[in-house]
Amino acid sequence: MRLLVVGRLSGQLASAVKMAMAHGAKVNHVERCDQATDLLRRGQGADLLMVDYKLDIASLIGANEAERISVPVVAFGIDADAREAAAAIKAGAKEFIPLPPEADLIAAVLSAVADDEKPMISADPSMKHVIQLADQVARSEASILVTGESGVGKEVMARYLHENSRRKDKPFISVNCAAIPDNLLESELFGHEKGAFTGAVARRIGKFEEADGGTLLLDEISEMDARLQAKLLRAIQERVIDRVGGTKPVKVDIRIIATSNRDLARAVSEGTFREDLLYRLNVVNLRLPSLRERPGDIAVLADHFVKKYAAANGVAARPLSPAARQAVTAHRWPGNVRELENAMHRAVLLATGAEIDVEAIRLPDGRPLALDAGAHGGSVGVASPALDAGPAARAAQAADAVTRSFVGQTVAAMEKTLILDTLTHCLGNRTHAANILGISIRTLRNKLNEYADEGASIPAPQSGVSGGTPGAGYAA
């Protein structure tokens, strides 16, 4: 990932930068906020801004938004107290990193923004067939459409294609079309000229030009506005773009990879997606099967995540117990690989014995996985009153518990409880919580800001939390 540090490079900040670089971040540095905005508009992009809390964070974010530059900000500070940290968050920072730095916290913040080290892990024949097809087309210049349910690993596959292409030494630029407002997405993709709109004080280079020579990933392209689809079609056909407010076409040399978790053929029939654009994107289609369609991948992925999060949290990598392994294999994983990853992360933190047992593997609502596995016909071999009951009895018990917990609450209070509980179960990871809740990260952040203003305690990201952009996950 690309990190832009804004502030004076003191000894403690230099240590934080070295930690970030050790985790694979490519770091740029400027001292002032105006220099940061200028660097971003000139096309030296960043995935994350790390800004000294003493600087005017609100003005920096405002200047970027005026230029239609959308990059998340985290604040850092030396010996900052809780009030100063809260002020930085209120100014628009997503997180606060205290200095002296902690390696685990630096890793958690970086991975919550971009996790570029997700290997392609597969043991199931259905997934191996997709990887074989990917290997065949990776070195071509064909546009590729990667489809599949949310959480199956579409962005991981896109990175795999880039890393095995002739463009692997050039940039890989990802744009989440669902996460950027329509009025900002055009400038994000194509850039703009000075004076193109109020606030455009200089030329800004867009993602197409940033990706020149490399690969541009259009993540969740089905969410793109119809007007922008037409402009995108021209860019793909003619390999030229028009900056917003520009009069001269700009040539670009890129390879397009797009992803979608929706049925684009149906979107075409419904009139929300252009048929000609679908044909241009879908030269090769790689459909990633859901995790329940590739059961042979579940155990190997679970083992991988246990090792990963044990290392990230500085604990021994304990094996799954036989009962836990059976429960993991029996579960249907509606959230696919992303849900499995979250569950294994929680299990690493909750396990107490020499092995990770069933009790440590929790679903997003806090129930042990074993209570759910039986509903899908999986026997976990563990004596449990909940498992001894029939499906109807278990459903009745669960419904009664939910009803009792919400009786007397307003809808707003129920929503607040659900959001905060989900965030807690996701160990403070905003991206994961938004995916589980089925809302955008922007909506989640607005809700959390609202609750914070009301005095609610908002769970902070914990060490070793792994995020990823909406739609990202292990392809297996």
Q: What is the pLDDT of residue 198?
A: 79
What pLDDT shows up at residue 382? 36
Domain 2-113 has CATH 3.40.50.300: no
Domain covering 293-399, topology? Helicase, Ruva Protein; domain 3 (1.10.8)
Q: How far apart are the C-alpha atoms of 393 and 378, rounded to whole Å?
A: 17
Smallest CA-to-CA distance from 449 within 76, 108, 92 is with: 92
In angstroms, the Cα distances linking 88 to 51, 52, 59, 458, 465 are 10, 9, 12, 15, 21
- Cα gap 231→241, rounded to integer Å: 8
Query: pTM of whole model > 0.95?
Result: no
Whole-number pLDDT of residue 199: 73
Give the pLDDT confidence score for residue 401 in this predicted structure: 47
**Rounded Cα–Cα distance for residues 394 and 270 (Å):** 40
> Judging by DSSP bridges, how do beta strands 144-147 and 284-287 pair with one another?
parallel
Adjacent-strand bridge partners of 286: 146
Predicted pLDDT at 425: 75
Q: Topology of domain 408-464, per CATH?
A: Arc Repressor Mutant, subunit A (1.10.10)
Q: What pLDDT tens digit does each residue of the chain (476 aa) get?
A: 788 999 887 778 888 888 888 877 788 899 999 999 988 888 777 888 999 998 999 999 998 888 778 788 999 887 767 788 888 888 998 888 888 777 777 777 776 665 555 778 899 999 999 999 999 999 999 999 999 999 999 999 999 999 999 999 898 998 989 888 887 888 889 988 888 887 777 888 889 999 999 999 999 999 898 889 999 999 999 999 999 888 889 999 999 999 999 999 999 999 999 999 999 999 999 999 999 999 999 999 999 999 988 887 778 889 999 999 999 999 999 999 999 999 999 999 889 889 999 989 988 777 888 654 444 433 333 333 333 444 444 444 444 444 444 555 576 777 888 888 888 877 788 877 787 777 877 788 888 888 887 778 888 775 433 333 333 345 54
Q: Note the pLDDT of residue 235.
A: 92
Strand partners, 29: 5
Q: Do the two domains 2-113 and 125-289 of this chain adopt the same fold?
A: yes
Architecture of domain 125-289: 3-Layer(aba) Sandwich (3.40)
Query: Does residue 183 sit in helix, strand or coil?
Result: helix
- What does the domain layout of the chain look like in residue ranges? 2-113, 125-289, 293-399, 408-464
